Amino acid sequence: MSKFIFAIVGCCCAFCLSGAEGWKRDSGLRAVEGDFTAAFTFRWHGYAPIPEKMDWRNGMIASHRSGYYDGWRVYLHDEQEGHPVFEIGRPEGGISIESGEGLSTGVWHRVVVSWQAATDDSTRGTMRLFADGALMAESAADRPRPRVDASPVMLGYVDFGVGALKLEVGMCTLAPRAWTTEDVAADYRDDPQIAADDPLSGRPLFRELVERADRQIADSAARREALMKTASETPTTACVIANRDFEGDVLKLSRSAFSRVTDPAIKARFPKAVRERVLAVPVPGFPERAAYGVGVSKRRATLVFADGVEPLPQAVWPNGDCAAATAKDGRWRFDDPAAPRLAAGTKALGYGYWQYLWADAALPIEAAADGSYRLLQEHSYGLGDKPKAKLMGVPEVVDQPGEWCVVDGVLYLLPPEEEFRFVTIPQTKGPLFKAVGEKRPIVLRNVTFAGSLGTALELIDCADVTLDHVTFVGNCGDAAIIRNCGRVRILNSTFANTGFTQFNLMGGDRWTLTKGEMIVENCRFSRPGLLQRTYTPCILLDGCGGIVSRCTFSSTPSSAIRIEGNDHVVRDCRFASTVLESDDQGAIDIWGDPTYRGNLFYKNTFVNVGGDANHDCGRNAIRFDDFISGMAVVSNTFVNAAQGNFGAVNMNGGHYNLIRGNAFRNCALGIGGYGWGDKRMAERLATDELKGKLKILEGNPLYLKRYPELVRLGTDDAAWCVLDNRFRDTPKRIRHAKLTTLFR
């Protein structure tokens, strides 16, 4: 074992050698025949100058012989990302394995490489490459045994296609056997150079991210305790409503009101397999083909519930994912030749993602004789060449228990598998309870809100609000909207089966960065977006300083929480089966405004993110999109939480985000994202949209004081702070780590 520190800094350094040999130093190690492990602790500071004849940007860590025609070598590859590479030389040219993840500059790393002979052939074997205690790449068991001799292992080199690094080297190790993953992990933990390293040294903005997150964790715990302490207190002046349910006007149809279908023309439209089982009941005034979804200004659609609670599905084809379709000259048709054919002139609803897989809408359509359809109402994003769609609301597609459709004022129902007592159809358009500017505290306990066609509860500019053990179920619009109230505590409540967003909460003051006194604690959210599938999260949290704590979220077609604003905290929550349908979204989603800063996501668990195959971009647990910066993701657990091109945590165009101490398990990609580059960032900042969002910074020194990284707005592309995360059964840990990223 050899241990020393030296620097290779270019042609003027003490260890510079002339000619083709380049920059190098004897490590004191000697290569061995057969199985071996070589380990190097080093810190690099970028690429050293290279001779004019070379135009590549890579740099050698260590090599035995050439490392290309014989021997072996370890180097960093890629000008932007610094990926470690392990290469074995052969007479016909080297064969290598490469890490998909870069190593940060200015931080001590330990890279370990090994070759292990196959059990049946000592001349062939497996190459492995480890970085910072984790396996990064592994070959098949057919790689050749390195051709070695008694010459030394050299540190630093320029030749055979590899340049030089500005390099410090610590402990170097060579063992005559292939280390196990446990050996490598223990070796990394025991390395004194790495143990003593402060990765934040010389990085004040990254250090501020870490310290700010620590402060916010403590602050949110104290604020939560204070809010919970007062939650059980009911002032004598309060407007208290307890044990009184709020039920909207509903059309209630008992099981006995249904009868068999007798009209032969209608009966013939149902599939043969279900014709004799379909039931019918008049529903005068029902909006048969009312449009809803992204870009639809008037939402007139309704849901049908069994026994007032369980939503019954409107009949659709196909029953699973949206089907591929092709559009041309304003008409579209399903690609599947087995798709149902409607008689020419038949009007129905077409539900689909007409242009983008993150913007859904149900729109009235009309069938043509050739099997194509035209939209009777234009979609806000237009009709793309390859939409994804479903046919819905007509007898021809009724084939599953519980499905229904309405034709000429008659509801047709294929009975659900479980017997029902009655069916309800909400009728009330306005809120079931509304208060504006109420000065007395409002306390709602042990009540249920059900049967609203629009918003069930609306509280605006009220002084003090407490909801405790309140249930929202069976509402077609938004379940609750609470905005700009002085103090808000939503406790032990249930939000389920909602047509659109379940809870819209806004509070605090973004201009002064005053945190609102608002907490959502120990609540259960499930199945929002039963009508509009995208942009209808369980919680839309806006303003400054909200806390969502100890809540559960499940069965969401798109996001569970969407964040707007600053200094919000989501902690100790569980997310299961989220982002099941919409593309390009996260279970927690935040996008579009680089002045949104300081939001913290702490000790949450995300399990099974993503669902159907209709995604071009991806789905993930936490998504920072379009320049979102200054966020902190600390001590969370991600299990099967990445789908498509996204990592479980994914960033697009942002910087100065902290990803620290998280556990990633069974994720295709742990941390992912894309840098925009200086040109694209400058172009985006020059748009009227971004200029409008940045106005909050004008004459407002509070932002720069609280978020000092804002001074680098428009620079330091993809400068992330990624520290102390753990990965298991996650084949790719991080993607697009640039040299500005702190990654260890």
Of 56-60, 518-522, 567-571, 720-724, the one with minimum mean pLDDT is: 56-60
Residue-wise pLDDT tens digits, 179-233: 999 999 999 999 999 999 999 998 999 999 999 999 999 999 999 999 998 877 7
- Cα–Cα distance for residue pair 572/588, rounded to 1 Å: 14
Sign of CA dihedral 302, 305, 309, 313: negative
- pLDDT value at position 53? 65
| Strands 585-591 vs 95-98: parallel, antiparallel or unpaired | unpaired
* Separation between Cα atoms, residue 84 and residue 99, nearest integer Å: 6
Helices (H) then strands (E): counts for the chain:
7, 65
**pLDDT reading at 24 higher than 90:** no
Contact (CB, 8 A) for 377 and 349 = no
Provide the whole-model pTM. 0.92
Mapped to the 3 state alphabet, what secondary structure does 482-497 carry? EECCCEEEEECCEEEE
Of 137, 152, 136, 195, nearest to 171 by C-alpha is 195
Residue 701: asked if its preceding bond is cis (omega within 30°), the reply is: no
Residue 230's pLDDT is 80
Amino acid at 264: P
CA distances from 503 to 444, 459, 562 (A): 16, 12, 11
Whole-number percent of the chain with pLDDT over 70: 95
Cβ atoms of 559 and 589 closer than 8 Å:
yes
Read off the DSSP letter of residue 159: B
pLDDT of amino acid 56: 63
CA distance 531 to 694: 34
CB 301 within 8 A of CB 287: yes
CA atoms 174, 176, 181, 185: torsion sign: negative
Measured CA to CA in angstroms, residue 145 lies from 91, 141, 264, 569 at distances of: 12, 11, 79, 53
Pairing, β 422-426 against β 304-306: antiparallel
Q: How confident is the model at residue 82 (pLDDT cuts 50, 70, 90)?
A: confident
Taking residue 7's Cβ as centre, other Cβ atoms within 10 Å add up to 17
The percent helix, strand, coil of the chain (3-state, each to 5) is 10, 40, 50
Positive or negative, the CA dihedral 396, 400, 406, 410 is positive
What is the residue whose two structure tokens read 């190459």?
A: 127
pLDDT digits (tens, 9 = 90+) for 692-704: 999 999 999 999 9
For 93-109, what is the mean pLDDT? 91
Cα(4)–Cα(38) distance, rounded to whole angstroms?
16
Give pLDDT, residue 240: 83
Q: What is the DSSP letter of 299?
A: -
Tell which residue, 509, 502, 450, has the closest CA to residue 484. Answer: 509
| Pick from 297-301, 551-555, 601-605, 655-659: least confident | 297-301
Among 625, 511, 514, 525, CA closest to 570: 525
Q: What integer is the mean pLDDT of 400-407? A: 96
Task: Give the per-residue pLDDT at 697.
Answer: 95
Determine contact, residues 132/744, Cβ cutoff 8 Å. Answer: yes
Q: Following DSSP, what letter does each residue of 312-327 receive, concatenated?
A: EPBPEESSSSPEEEEE
38 pairs with which residues across the strands?
113, 174
Q: Count Cβ atoms below 10 Å from residue 298 Cβ, excluding itself.
A: 8
Q: How far apart are CA 180 and CA 111, in angstroms?
A: 14
With CA atoms as reference, report the closest residue to 1 among 41, 34, 43: 41
Is residue 14's pLDDT more than 60?
A: no
Q: pLDDT > 90: what percent of the chain?
A: 79
pLDDT-derived band at 36, boundaries 50, 70, 90: very high
| Residue 174 backbone phi and psi in degrees, to 5 | -135, 125
User: Which of the 8 DSSP states describes residue 179?
Assistant: P
DSSP state at residue 697: G
Strands 600-602 and 632-634: parallel
Q: Find residue 125's DSSP bridge partners.
A: 117, 143
**In this predicted model, what pLDDT tens digit does every residue of 226-243 receive, in sequence order?**
999 887 777 778 788 877
Question: pLDDT at residue 40 above 50?
Answer: yes
The reported pLDDT for the residue numbered 738 is 67
CA-nearest of 491, 587, 483, 473 to 537 is 587
A 10 A CB-CB count for 61 gives 27
pLDDT at 2: 38
Where are the extended beta strands (E) located within 313-463? 316-317, 323-328, 331-334, 347-353, 361-367, 373-375, 388-392, 404-407, 410-413, 422-426, 433-436, 442-445, 448-450, 457-460
